[in-house]
Amino acid sequence: MTAEEHIQALRDLMRISWEDDVAEATRLAERAEAQGATWRAKFHRDSVKRLEAMDKPWEKPMPVF
């Protein structure tokens, strides 16, 4: 496996992990809303906003070796 393939694999893992985190926070927010727990729902919605605003290294150009 080349260095570029390793880097791409790591980027893919970071993206997948990030997507899982967003999905989980969204699920928790929806569950809290359904239970009427507005503070908890806001906490999870804010977590989604922070995740979406974060720097996403997998979107940056691949380094050249």
pTM (2 d.p.): 0.86
Query: In the structure, what pLDDT confidence band is assigned to residue 1 with cuts at 50, 70 and 90?
Result: confident
Is there a domain that residue 6 lies in? Answer: no
The two tokens of residue 55 are: 């720097």
Looking at residue 54, its pLDDT comes to 95
Percentage above 70 pLDDT, the chain: 98
Give the residue-averaged pLDDT of 7-18.
Answer: 95
Is there a domain that residue 26 lies in? Answer: yes
Least Cα distance to 11 among 43, 58, 51, 56 occurs for 58
Domain that holds residue 27: 13-53
Looking at residue 62, its pLDDT comes to 80
Alpha helices in the chain (DSSP H): 3-34, 38-53
Q: Total domain count for the chain?
A: 1
pLDDT in tens, 18-49: 999 999 999 999 999 999 999 999 999 999 99
Is there a domain that residue 2 lies in? Answer: no
Is there a domain that residue 3 lies in? Answer: no
- Residue owning tokens 């989604």: 48
Is there a domain that residue 25 lies in? Answer: yes
